[in-house]
Amino acid sequence: MKKRIIAFVATIGMALALIVAPAQAAKEIRIGFIAPMTGIFAQIGKDMTNGFKMYLEQNKGMMGPVKVKFIHEDSTGKPSVNRQKAIKLIKRDKVHFFVGGLLASTGYALGAVADRYKTLYISPVPAGDDMTQRRAPKYFVRSGFTSSQGAHPLADYAYDKGYRRIVAVGQDYAFGYEYIGGFQRQFEKRGGKIIKKIWVKLGTKDFGPYLPQISKTADAVVVLAVGPSSLAFPKQYRAAGFKLPLLGGITAADEFTLPSMGDEAIGYVTAGQYSAALNTDKNNAFVKEYQSRYGKMASYYSETTYTTAMWIHKTLEKIKWNPDDTKGFIREFKNVRITDAPRGPLYIGSHGNVVQNIYIREVVRVPGDRLGLGVKTNSLWNKVIKTYPAVSQFYKFSPEEFLKQPVYSKSFPGCKFCE
Amino acid sequence: MGSIQERKHVYLVMGLFCALALVTPYLDLFLQQLLSEILVFGLLAMSLDILLGFTGLASLGHAAYFGVASYAAAIVMTKKSWVITYSIYNGASEAGLGIFFLFFVGVLVAFIFSVFFGYLAIRAKDVYFLMITLSLAMVVWGLAYRWSAVTEGDNGIIISERPTLLGIELSDGLAFFYFALVVFLLCLGVLYLIVQSPFGKTLVGIREREERMEMLGYNVWLHKYLAFIIAGTFSGVAGVMWTLHNMFVSPSDVELITSAEALFMVALGGPATLIGPLIGAAIIRSLQQLVSIYVERWPLILGSIYIFTIMLSRLYGVDGILGFAKKFRRSSAVSENSDKLN
């Protein structure tokens, strides 16, 4: 009996030890970080965390005189878990703000939490267009991009290249609709035609049923694939005998998929705000250090969180290192100009989205060891072939004109020229 | 049935709930919200217990009824273009009755779905039943994911404000906890009466020996069907609670993992006990929310707990934690008349 009581008391004690909130130090900023560390998005979550941590380690855990307390939470990639973790960070750890999230859906969910608890949310990755357009939360800033931001310049590039009739293959969810929608709007504004839109289920690895729908008379194919679909598409596309040039969104051929791709990817032209092959001193140093620390190629996920940390640092400096000044933080975050981020110059434009360079990247094989990184020879890189400088989320449209339209979806823009 | 034993259990459970209600105001807001969440999922698992524990039907699609109810509540609250439901909801909200309307709609939808799905599924047995319930639940998931004009698809529905309950603000975490506790206890009471009734005893009989019950002249099919509907309807209550608690609904709430988790909660806490699933829910949810703070590989711990539970039940015939407690008590008090415990 006695033993049981002791065991009972011990269990309660352990539970209490878990519950007791951590003590607070004098001058510190508490930053919550939410990324998937388990589940199918774990690798991406790791890249996100690595980028942020690398900046903190480079600065020995300090931002000026302020000590950074980095509180990391596993979101498993699900929107509702993200929400719960954010509330935990706000209520229990009393964070000054939280950073993270991955899918567009998590972005919207986290934005609602931020407004409800009046705690700032900084979004480095979730790219839902409406977060900085029609449904912008108040306690929110973005250091990443909007889904369609890279799609508008890609459409210009495609038109200038002489393509007029294009087949679009998009992943069947918000990110896919917004990317393909943005591409179509700009492309058709210039006078091109999207002659077919094919929506592919998220996570598709077998494109057999979709490939025959691609007309061989088209000039090119534009693809927005994510994760396993990105890897499978070019392989099966080439195997089916297609010779049409391939265009794609940022995730269609990124630093995640390139190491696992082969010759089929060569010539794949994609648009995005970052490429590990971007040849600037800042980026070369970043890629090199990332490679030596974590043994893999830097991706836009690690770049964007790294830059976010830098951005937070600069903002804090502007508000005299007072992390409690949330209003000032949001104001100054939008005023700071970042000149030395790996991806290039950045600042917040109208409606709170990042204005940044969009790079048109072509997959090439670079024999030898680029930058002496220890990457295996003959590796694939996203060579930057054209830069569209300072692209805003509205591209060449005026914000008013842009916002009059509904957000890009499966039904907007409609398929006027579909065959 | 040992009625004294039974009464003792009821007092014990009531005492524990009172203690919980007294302690909660002293916890931090995060833990209060975790407790509300545990109550919501405890309710979901408890409703599944009617099927799994008492009737012996393992459903892998229980999140469907949970999901349709939470979607129904969320849609009623946010869909302004559906004038009829939205205006009724608004009118009811002004009178402080908004929550009752949400429960009415959510539970009704869950009821309709379980009437329809149950009719299709109940004919099958064992693994076939599992497969049918799973595929029906996937239909609901598909609806939530694809019918984006109504469900907002992958983005989910965000609710900005909780309705008041007869003028009482529920936006505060503690108030909502008490609300969740009351709803949970009401459902527990009703389900307890159901399982104690002759109807409930018949369900146990069907679980133990279906052929014999049929021989005795019971309409086995109808009993199973009714159990299915009861389970689905109460899971609808949990669904509405989830919408109110989380203020966000997305397809991931409806997917297979939620169904499987509910199944695990029942198995872990102890099937056919009603209160066991709540313990299972408490363990699984706290692991996800608390242990994940300290251990990065927390799914390993969760996994080992599952394996441990299954091994226990396989090797020693012990069902879940409550089953273990029962066995433990029995072995430490040999002199007690043990066959009364079952």
Give yes or no: residues A54 and A174 share one domain.
Answer: no
Contact B252 A116 (CB under 8 A): no
How far apart CA A264 and CA A305 sit, in angstroms, is 30
Q: Does B325 touch chain A (CB under 8 A)?
A: no
Query: Which pLDDT belongs to residue B159?
Result: 86
Contact A112 B247 (CB under 8 A): yes
Give yes or no: residues A324 and A395 share one domain.
Answer: no
How far is the CA of A203 from the CAs of A173, A206, B125, in angstroms? 11, 9, 32
How far apart CA A290 and CA A192 sit, in angstroms, is 41
Backbone angles phi, psi at A234, to 5 degrees: -60, -35
ipTM over 0.90: no
Give yes or no: residues A73 and A175 share one domain.
Answer: no
3-state secondary structure chain B: CCHHHHHHHHHHHHHHHHHHHHHHHHCCHHHHHHHHHHHHHHHHHHHHHHHHHHHCCCCCCCHHHHHHHHHHHHHHHHCCCCHHHHHHHHHHHHCCCHHHHHHHHHHHHHHHHHHHHHHHHCCCCHHHHHHHHHHHHHHHHHHHHHCHHHHCHHHCEECCCCCCECCECCCCHHHHHHHHHHHHHHHHHHHHHHHHCHHHHHHHHHHHCHHHHHHCCCCHHHHHHHHHHHHHHHHHHHHHHHHHHHCEECHHHCCHHHHHHHHHHHHHHCCCCCCHHHHHHHHHHHHHHHHHHHCCCHHHHHHHHHHHHHHHHHHHCCCHHHHHHHHHHHHHCCCCCHHHCC
- What residues 119-138 of chain A have any CB closer than 8 A to a CB of chain B? 128
Contact A79 B250 (CB under 8 A): yes
Give yes or no: residues A262 and A319 share one domain.
Answer: no
Contact A173 B154 (CB under 8 A): yes
> Residue A168 above 80 pLDDT?
yes
Give yes or no: residues A371 and A231 share one domain.
Answer: yes
Give yes or no: residues A91 and A227 share one domain.
Answer: no
In a domain, residue A134? The reply is no
Q: What is the mean pLDDT of residues A175-182?
A: 92
Query: Which of these, A247, A245, A242, A302, lies nearest to A269 by C-alpha position?
Result: A247
Query: Which pLDDT belongs to residue A15?
Result: 55
Query: Which of these, A230, A174, A172, A240, lies nearest to A205 by C-alpha position?
Result: A230
In a domain, residue A397? The reply is yes
* pLDDT, block means (10 residues), chain B with 342 residues: 71 88 86 91 94 89 93 89 81 81 93 93 87 92 86 84 80 88 94 93 90 89 94 95 90 87 88 88 86 78 83 74 75 51 43
Q: Does B260 touch chain A (CB under 8 A)?
A: no
Give yes or no: residues A270 and A167 share one domain.
Answer: yes
Q: What is the number of domains present in chain A?
A: 2
Q: Which residues of chain B neighbour A74 with C-beta distances below 8 Å?
A: 292, 296, 298
- What residues 338-397 of chain A have any CB closer than 8 A to a CB of chain B? none
Q: Which residues of chain A neighbour B260 with C-beta distances below 8 Å?
A: none
Total CB pairs under 8 A between chain A and B: 78
Q: Which residues of chain B neighbour A410 with C-beta distances below 8 Å?
A: 148
> Residue A354 above 60 pLDDT?
yes
Contact B248 A79 (CB under 8 A): yes
Residue A162, domain CATH: 3.40.50.2300
In a domain, residue A91? The reply is yes
Looking at the partner chain, which of B156, B291, B292 has a beta carbon nearest the beta carbon of A109? Answer: B156
How far apart CA B143 and CA B151 sit, in angstroms, is 8
How far apart CA A360 and CA A247 sit, in angstroms, is 10
Q: Distance, in angstroms, between A105 CA and closest chain B CA?
A: 4
How far apart CA A400 and CA B48 sit, in angstroms, is 52
Give yes or no: residues A35 and A121 share one domain.
Answer: yes
Amino acid identity, residue B133? T
Query: Which of these, A413, A416, A375, lies nearest to A170 by C-alpha position?
Result: A413
Q: Output b/e per residue, A273-286; b: 16+ Cβ within 10 A.
A: bbbbbbeeeebbeb
What is the DSSP-derived secondary structure letter of residue A197? Answer: E
Backbone angles phi, psi at A29, to 5 degrees: -115, 130
Give yes or no: residues A221 and A362 share one domain.
Answer: yes
Q: Beta-carbon neighbour count of residue A389 at 10 Å? A: 11
Query: Which pLDDT belongs to residue B328?
Result: 73
In a domain, residue A3? The reply is no
Query: How many residues can be counted in chain A?
Result: 419
Give the domain range for residue A323. Answer: 20-126+299-341
Phi-psi region of A384 (alpha: psi -120 to 50; beta: other; left: phi over 0): beta
Q: Which residues of chain A neighbour B33 with C-beta distances below 8 Å?
A: 84, 87, 91
How far is the CA of A213 from the CAs of A167, A217, A418, in angstroms? 9, 12, 12
In a domain, residue A186? The reply is yes
Take residue A408 and report the two structure tokens written for it.
Answer: 């890009």
How far is the CA of B187 from the CAs of A169, B82, B178, B198, B237, in angstroms? 49, 30, 14, 19, 9
Query: Which pLDDT belongs to residue A196?
Result: 92
Query: Which pLDDT belongs to residue A218?
Result: 92
Please provide the average confidence, as pLDDT, over all residues in chain A: 87
Q: Does B250 touch chain A (CB under 8 A)?
A: yes
Contact B247 A116 (CB under 8 A): yes
Contact B155 A128 (CB under 8 A): yes
Query: Which pLDDT belongs to residue A314?
Result: 93
Query: Which pLDDT belongs to residue A26?
Result: 53
Q: How confident is the model at residue A184 (pLDDT cuts 50, 70, 90)?
A: very high
Q: Which residues of chain B neighbour A88 with C-beta distances below 8 Å?
A: 30, 289, 293
Q: What SS3 class is residue A58? A: helix
Q: Beta-carbon neighbour count of residue B120 at 10 Å? A: 12
Query: Which pLDDT belongs to residue A379?
Result: 82
Contact A91 B33 (CB under 8 A): yes
Q: Distance, in angstroms, between A8 CA and closest chain B CA?
A: 13
Give yes or no: residues A55 and A158 share one domain.
Answer: no
Amino acid identity, residue A414? G
Q: Beta-carbon neighbour count of residue B201 at 10 Å? A: 13
Q: Domains in chain B, start-ordered, CATH in brackets?
A: 3-340 (1.10.3470)
Burial of A403 (0-12, 13-18, 19+ CB in 10 A): middle
Looking at the partner chain, which of A74, A78, A80 has a beta carbon nearest the beta carbon of B292? Answer: A74
Q: Output b/e per residue, A14-33; b: 16+ Cβ within 10 A.
A: eeeeeeeeeeeeeebbbbbb
Contact A287, A264 (CB under 8 A): no
- What residues 150-209 of chain B have any CB closer than 8 A to a CB of chain A? 153-156, 158, 160, 173
Q: Does A38 touch chain B (CB under 8 A)?
A: yes
In a domain, residue A34? The reply is yes
> Residue A20 above 70 pLDDT?
no
Give yes or no: residues A156 and A253 share one domain.
Answer: yes
**Best residue in A116, A129, A411, A412 for a mutation probing chain B (most B CBs within 10 Å):** A116
Condensed to tens digits (0 to 9), the pLDDT of residues A42-76 reads 888 999 999 999 999 999 999 989 999 999 888 88
Burial of A94 (0-12, 13-18, 19+ CB in 10 A): middle
**Best residue in B154, B162, B170, B177 for a mutation probing chain A (most A CBs within 10 Å):** B154
Q: Does A105 touch chain B (CB under 8 A)?
A: yes
Condensed to tens digits (0 to 9), the pLDDT of residues A78-119 reads 888 888 889 889 988 899 999 999 888 888 889 988 998 899
Looking at the partner chain, which of B31, B154, B248 has a beta carbon nearest the beta carbon of A174? Answer: B154
Looking at the partner chain, which of A80, A88, A174 has a beta carbon nearest the beta carbon of B253? Answer: A80
In a domain, residue A181? The reply is yes
Looking at the partner chain, which of A88, A92, A174 has a beta carbon nearest the beta carbon of B153? Answer: A174
Contact B299 A91 (CB under 8 A): no
Contact B30 A409 (CB under 8 A): no
Contact B155 A87 (CB under 8 A): no
Q: What SS3 class is residue A117? A: helix
Take residue A113 and report the two structure tokens written for it.
Answer: 């939490």
Take residue B122 and report the two structure tokens written for it.
Answer: 């109940």
Contact A109 B158 (CB under 8 A): yes
Contact B158 A108 (CB under 8 A): yes
Phi-psi region of A394 (alpha: psi -120 to 50; beta: other; left: phi over 0): alpha
What is the DSSP-derived secondary structure letter of residue A73? Answer: E
Q: Within a 13 Å sphere around the CA of A33, how many CA atoms are in the beta-carbon half?
A: 25
Q: What SS3 class is residue A22? A: coil
In a domain, residue A131? The reply is no
Q: Does B24 touch chain A (CB under 8 A)?
A: no
How far apart CA B269 and CA B154 sit, in angstroms, is 32
Query: Which pLDDT belongs to residue B4?
Result: 73
Among residues A341, A375, A395, which one ends one of the domains? A341
Give yes or no: residues A364 and A326 share one domain.
Answer: no
